[in-house]
Structure 1
Amino acid sequence: MNDTFSNNKQIGIVSTFSELVTTDFKEEKNALCWYRNLEGDFAAIVDKLQLKENITEVYPKDLVALQLSEQGTIAREIILNDIQLLADFGASPSLNLLKCYERDAEFDFISTDVYSFHVDRSPIATDTFLCTYHGAASDIIGNEQAVQKILIPEIREKLKALHSGPSGEFKSFLEENYFDLHYLAQPNITPTNLGLGHLWRLAVDHPKQQVPPCIHRAPIEKDGEYRLLLIC
Structure 2
Amino acid sequence: MNNTFSDNSQIGVVSTFSELIHTNFQGDMNALCWHRNLEGDFKEIVVKLELKENITEVSAEDLLALQLSEKGNIAREIILNDLQLLTDFGALPSLNLLKNYERDDELDFISTDVYSYHIDRSPIGTDTFLCTYYGAASDIIPNNQVEQKILIPEIREKLKALHDGPEAEFETFLKDYFFDLHYQPKPDAKPVNLGSGHLWRLAVDHPAQQVLPCVHRAPVENDGEYRLLLIC
Report the TM range for the smaller structure's normalisation: over 0.9
1:123 is displaced (CA, Å) by 0.3
Kept in 1, the 8 Å contact 2:135–2:221? The answer is yes
Query: What's 2:174 paired with?
Result: 174
Matched ranges for 1:73-88 at <5 A: 73-88=73-88
Equivalent pairs, count: 232
1:198 is displaced (CA, Å) by 0.2
Matched ranges for 1:7-156 at <5 A: 7-156=7-156
Query: What's 1:210 paired with?
Result: 210
Cα shift readout 1:47-72 (whole Å, capped 9, x = no counterpart): 00010110000000000000000000
SS of corresponding position for 1:75: helix
Identity of aligned residues (%): 75
- CA-based RMSD of the aligned residues comes to 0.5
Cα shift readout 1:146-192 (whole Å, capped 9, x = no counterpart): 00000000000000011132111111100010000000000032210
Kept in 1, the 8 Å contact 2:145–2:190? The answer is no
Cα shift readout 1:34-86 (whole Å, capped 9, x = no counterpart): 00000000000000001011000000000000000000000000000000000
Report the residue type matching 1:206 in the other structure: H
| TM superposition score normalised by structure 2 | 0.99
d(CA) in 1 for partners of 2:206, 2:164: 28
Report the residue type matching 1:39 in the other structure: E
Cα shift readout 1:65-109 (whole Å, capped 9, x = no counterpart): 000000000000000000000000000000000000000011000
d(CA) in 1 for partners of 2:89, 2:174: 33
1:190 paired to 2:186: no
d(CA) in 2 for partners of 1:190, 1:18: 29
1:134 is displaced (CA, Å) by 0.1
Any gaps of 5 or more consecutive residues in structure 2?
none
d(CA) in 2 for partners of 1:105, 1:217: 16
